[in-house]
């Protein structure tokens, strides 16, 4: 699945969230694939012209998660986001 979005997640306020098979809001873990990537920060920002995530398992523990990008791409056969709380969830095509 390929996603290209200007503002994929604008103000995500949750400690953990998850990427998997479908887009839903429910749990709090982010996983894509098999290897592991973990980030713990009070504030996390991505500012890039192109952002690609090719990872089996991606975990983010953050109070504030922001992506500011003109081209945001996730290449995965299964894609899911689960979170207890989203703020300003926006998907543009």
Task: Give residue-wise pLDDT tens across range 17-76.
Answer: 444 443 344 444 444 444 455 555 555 566 555 556 665 566 655 555 666 666 666 666
Q: What is the pTM of this model?
A: 0.19
Q: Is position 2 within any domain?
A: no
Q: Is position 28 within any domain?
A: yes
Model confidence over 57-68: pLDDT tens digits?
A: 666 555 556 666
| Other CB atoms within 10 A of residue 81 CB | 21
Q: Is position 36 within any domain?
A: yes
Q: Is position 91 within any domain?
A: no
Those residues with Cβ within 8 angstroms of residue 72's Cβ, 6 or more apart along the chain or in another chain: 3, 4, 5, 6, 8, 51
- Asked whether 40 and 62 are in contact (CB, 8 A), the reply is yes
Domain that holds residue 43: 9-85
Q: Cα–Cα distance between 64 and 49 in angstroms, integer?
A: 21
Q: Is position 59 within any domain?
A: yes
Q: Please count the structural domains in the chain.
A: 1
**DSSP state letters, 63-84:** EEEEEEES-EEEB-SS--BB-S
pLDDT greater than 60 at residue 16: no
């Amino acid at each position: 699945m390929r996603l290209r979005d200007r503002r994929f997640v604008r103000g995500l306020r949750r400690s953990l969230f998850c990427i998997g098979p479908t887009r839903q809001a429910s749990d709090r873990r982010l996983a894509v694939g098999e290897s592991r990537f973990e980030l713990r920060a009070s504030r996390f920002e991505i500012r890039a012209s192109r952002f690609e995530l090719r990872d089996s398992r991606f975990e983010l523990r953050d109070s504030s998660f922001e992506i500011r990008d003109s081209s945001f791409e996730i290449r995965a056969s299964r894609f899911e986001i689960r979170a207890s709380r989203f703020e300003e969830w926006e998907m543009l095509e």
